[in-house]
Amino acid sequence: MELVVATSLGGLTAAGIYLILRLRAFPVILGLTLLSYAVNVFVFATGRLTVGLPPVLSDGASAYTDPLPQALVLTAIVISFGMTAVLVLIALGAFLEAGDDRVNIEDETKTTGENDA
């Protein structure tokens, strides 16, 4: 199971970073979403991977799965969900204002400066 989790984490992260470097708003949003998936699984795994164990110690249980990372992941999911929504809206606003979805900004200062000189 460790192998499956580790390879999928690596795959998600690599795809996410590749998409972020595309410099277009939509691929960047997808890339950040993939990255946040990868991070959520990673944080989940920091409590060690266990199968079929109760989340808290009880009298009958010999071992337990750490409940704290699960709580942390829940917070992280909510936050990244909200952030993605904000990002989509800002990207949409920038697209409507600028007419294209490039993330990099054309340097207008230079041309304006030349006109003044």
CB 25 within 8 A of CB 93: no
- Residue choice 52, 58, 60, 109 for contact with another protein (CB under 8 A): 109
Angle at 3 between CA 2 and CA 9, to 5 degrees: 90
Nearest CB to another protein, comparing residues 54 and 82: 82
The CA-atom distances, in angstroms, between 63 and each of 3, 5, 52, 82, 111 are 22, 21, 10, 35, 67
Site for another protein in 21-50 (CB under 8 A): 25, 28, 32, 35-36, 39, 42-43, 45-47
* Best CA proximity match to 34, nearest among 20, 55, 21, 54: 20
Shortest distance (Å) from residue 47 CB to another protein: 8
- Residue choice 10, 11, 67, 93 for contact with another protein (CB under 8 A): 93
Q: Is 72 in the site for another protein (CB under 8 A)?
A: yes
Using CB under 8 A as the criterion, which residues of the chain lie in contact with another protein when the complex forms?
Answer: 20, 25, 28, 32, 35-36, 39, 42-43, 45-47, 68-69, 72, 75-76, 79-80, 82-83, 86-87, 90-91, 93-94, 97-98, 103-105, 108-110, 112-113, 116
